[in-house]
Amino acid sequence: MAMLHIVNKSPFERVAFESCLRYVKAGDSILMIEDASVGAIEGTKFADQLKAAMADTSVYVLGGDLAARGMSEDRMIEGIKSVDYAGFVELVADNEKTQSWV
Amino acid sequence: MATKKFMYVNRKAPYGTVYALEALEVVLIAAAFEQDISLAFIDDGVYQIAKGQNTDGIGMKNFSATYKALGDYDINKIFVEKESLDERGMTADDLMDLVWEDEDDDWAEKPSIKIVSRAEMADVLADQDVHYSF
Amino acid sequence: MGTLDVNGTAVEVDEEGYLEDLSSWTEDIAVAMAAAEDVELSDEHWDIINFLREYYEEYQIAPAVRVLTKAVGKRLGKDKGNSKYLYSLFPYGPGKQACKYAGLPKPTGCV
């Protein structure tokens, strides 16, 4: 019963992302879009929390949102996968359920 | 009319919400009134002036180039908080090169961005007459 | 919304006559917009129009008149970097009128 968790708020500005991390289950996937995309960067004050969650979840970021905010993909935390809109659709299709943490 | 010190505080990332673009437009309009204008970039606001923004993938207008015009509008007091950069894994090198030309110094290009500590930013904010938050 | 006749082709403009689609601009459009206001474009007009287009390309905004004046003075000479000169070319306001011919949106906070 894998679930896709979609986050669109910056982890530095709102607690939505942190809340999401408290509720994800092993085998779930997390997709960062819009302002949440900046959470994918290595070396931030949020990185350790996300890396801990990555032990048993798959983490994705919408590459276009990251690029729009001036962050290149080589700065991402290792193991995070960048996807485009087609990849977004695939993730939704591949998971039985989707929850947005708005 | 006595000149007042206006401070525009930018705290949000661009594109996800409309705040960054709205602030930029308000600042450009305010510049026409020849007041003493300063800009502060703190928290996620630092992403607004990150270099290399590319919006091809999200189909939105990339307005980052417009920050480079601020110097032409005599807006050259741009304060960026160091702690906000640190917390986001960024340094001053990740920011666009925002400059202004000093007419009184043979149009020499001078940097507009000043990186300040959180304590210094508090002093900068306290020193203003009017604050607008975005 | 309205249209402007450019050599037999209808071009979409807004209620103030500004081009709807920036990317569709041609020199013929500028000539037709000017003709509609009884202006014949001289080399001096084109200097300003071309400058505005380059400025927009670089900064993604139409410059305020103050900025335009300063920049023209720096680029085309001090004798041209004043509002008297610019108003002599564009009597309806250098910001409004020149930006319109250049196919740009109305300048933010313009005169």
- The helix/strand/coil state of B116 is strand
Task: Name the residue among C70, C74, C109 with its Cβ closest to that of B29.
Answer: C109
Residue C91's φ and ψ, nearest 5 degrees, are -60, -20
Query: Which amino acid would we find at residue A75?
Result: R
* Contacts (Cβ under 8 Å, ≥6 apart) of B11: A13, B42, B43, B44, B45, B133, B134
Domain covering C2-101, topology: Arc Repressor Mutant, subunit A (1.10.10)
- Give the distance, in angstroms, between the CA of residue B42 and the centroid of all CA atoms in the same chain: 10
pLDDT tens-digit readout, B64-115: 999 999 999 999 999 999 999 999 999 999 999 999 999 889 889 999 999 9
Task: Name the residue among C70, C71, C109 with its Cβ closest to that of B32.
Answer: C109
Separation in Å, CA of C8 to nearest CA in chain B? 32
Query: Can you give the residue range of the structural domain that contains A61?
Result: 3-101
- Rounded to whole angstroms, the Cα distance separating B19 from A71 reads 20
Active site residues of C: 110
pLDDT above 50 (res C111): no
Identify the residue whose tokens are 């070319």.
Answer: C89
What's residue B33's pLDDT?
Answer: 83
Question: Are C4 and C36 spatial neighbours (Cβ–Cβ below 8 Å)?
Answer: yes
- Rounded to whole angstroms, the Cα distance separating C36 from B112 reads 43
> In this complex, does chain B touch chain A, defined as having at least 3 beta-carbon pairs under 8 Å apart?
yes
Determine what percent of chain C is predicted with pLDDT higher than 70: 95
Calculate mean pLDDT across residues B31-54.
95
Q: A69 touching B, CB under 8 A?
A: yes
- Rounded to whole angstroms, the Cα distance separating B62 from B132 reads 23
Q: List, as ranges, residues 16-55 from A with C-beta within 8 Å of B.
A: 34-35, 38, 41-45, 47
Q: How confident is the model at residue C95 (pLDDT cuts 50, 70, 90)?
A: confident
Separation in Å, CA of B21 to nearest CA in chain A? 13
The secondary structure of chain A, three-state, reads CCEEEEECCCCCCCCHHHHHHHHCCCCCEEEECHHHHHHHECCCCCHHHHHHHCCCCEEEEEHHHHHHCCCCHHHECCCCEEECHHHHHHHHHHCCEEEEEC
Average per-residue pLDDT for chain A? 97
Sorted by where each starts, the structural domains of chain B and their CATH numbers stand as: 5-133 (3.40.1260.10)
Per the structure, how many domains does chain A have? 1
Q: What are the extents of the domains in chain C?
A: 2-101
Cβ contact C61–B66 (<8 Å): yes
Give the pair of three-digit tokens for residue B20.
Answer: 């960054």
